[in-house]
Amino acid sequence: MNPRFAGRRALVTGSSRGIGAGIAERLAAEGADVVITARTLGPGGHLPGSLEETAERLRAYGGTVEVVAADLTDEQARAGVVPRAQELLGGTIDILVNNAAAAIYQPLAGFPLRRHRLTFEANVHAPIALIQDVIPGMQAKGEGWIVNLSSATARLHSGPPFDLVEPGTAMAVYGASKAALNRITNGFGAELSGTGIRVNTVQPRAAVMSEGAQALIGETVRADQIEALEEMVEGTVALCDCPADITGRVCVSLDLIDDWKLTVRGLDGGAWTKA
């Protein structure tokens, strides 16, 4: 197994389950010391997966794995995440993966103000705050890797007629927040260019059927519209180890795999074959 992340400290948000847990596992499998954060500390939530369960799986790789339970939509709670992560890992963060997101799907005409505030709090304001918090340490070291997870729902639909797939306009607020995140990524990339800090976004080309996605859209997605978790993770970890001139980009996981001729591996870093 390639220990390419050995000696690096990583913070992965939204890592109690799904894509975040997969990214955290892959980083741990390849030698990183990892802090995972989410709201769900222990088992028994409304979806499978928890920080404690993810941490137990990651510790099998032999590195340091720590847990910080926090609600990133709460300004005070998220302000403590990076300082606590650095305290637990004994140094500044080298890799930040902003995966945590609020996905609330509802038609626009009746979308409550409190829900779109929550969506933008989780998907835009929290990543900005965490990036701001890790920048000083990365600047002091002269390098760092920041990866924000976005979504194809950020794209505009041309029309009329509008070619919408289920759940259609119900994804518009979520997509708008991800479009904002893409623009913020590009802005940070430009602002920090030349410092050694890379800031990029990656999104799946197709749906990754995590526990949350299964609950939201599981009945509406065809088999040919699904991307494997391992493929999304591969595209993400590639940006956790990219050269300094790869920054400010909005990338697509499967395109990265094709363009960079990446070999998709399992979450343990070993061989993987698509089913």
CB atoms within 10 A of CB 150: 26
Alpha-carbon torsion angle 249, 253, 256, 258, nearest 10: -160
Closest by alpha carbon to 182, among 209, 158, 155?
A: 155
CA geometry: angle 7, 12, 13, nearest 5 deg: 160
Which comes out higher in pLDDT, residue 213 or 85?
A: 85
Q: How much is the pLDDT for 213?
A: 46
Task: Measure the CA–CA gap between 107 and 84, rounded to whole angstroms.
Answer: 38
Greatest alpha-carbon span in the chain:
56
- Domains for the chain: give ranges and CATH numbers: 9-155+162-259 (3.40.50.720)
Residues 6+ apart with CB under 8 A from 90: none
Residues 6+ apart with CB under 8 A from 91: 9, 137
Instruction: Answer yes or no: are the C-beta atoms of 156 and 105 closer than 8 Å.
Output: no
Whether residue 217 is predicted with pLDDT greater than 70 in this model: the reply is: no
Task: Measure the CA–CA gap between 207 and 204, rounded to whole angstroms.
Answer: 7
DSSP state of 223: G
Q: Which amino acid is at 149?
A: L
Q: How much is the pLDDT for 42?
A: 82
Whether residue 220 is predicted with pLDDT greater than 70 in this model: the reply is: no
| pLDDT per residue as tens digits for the range 50-72 | 999 999 999 999 999 999 999 99
> What integer is the mean pLDDT of 260-270?
97
Q: How much is the pLDDT for 209?
A: 47
> What integer is the mean pLDDT of 123-135?
98
Task: Measure the CA–CA gap between 119 and 113, rounded to whole angstroms.
Answer: 10
| pLDDT per residue as tens digits for the range 5-62 | 999 999 999 999 999 999 999 999 999 999 999 998 987 667 778 999 999 999 999 9
Task: State percent of the chain over pLDDT 70.
Answer: 92
Which comes out higher in pLDDT, residue 251 or 226?
A: 251
Q: How much is the pLDDT for 223?
A: 55
The residues carrying an active-site annotation are 174, 178
How many residues are listed for the chain in this entry?
275
Q: How much is the pLDDT for 214?
A: 47
Sign of the four-CA dihedral 166, 124, 72, 151: positive
DSSP result, 13-24: ES-SSHHHHHHH
Q: How much is the pLDDT for 219?
A: 56
| pLDDT per residue as tens digits for the range 69-115 | 999 999 999 999 999 999 999 999 999 999 999 999 999 999 999 99
Strand partners, 202: 149, 251
Q: How much is the pLDDT for 215?
A: 46
Closest by alpha carbon to 133, among 179, 84, 198, 184?
A: 84
Q: How much is the pLDDT for 157?
A: 86
Q: In degrees rounded to 5, what are phi and psi of residue 248?
A: 75, 20
Instruction: Answer yes or no: are the C-beta atoms of 201 and 148 closer than 8 Å.
Output: yes
Cis amide prior to 167 (ω within 30 degrees):
yes
| pLDDT per residue as tens digits for the range 141-183 | 999 999 999 998 898 888 999 888 777 889 999 999 999 999 9
Residues 6+ apart with CB under 8 A from 131: 96, 98, 146, 188, 199
Q: How much is the pLDDT for 1?
A: 57
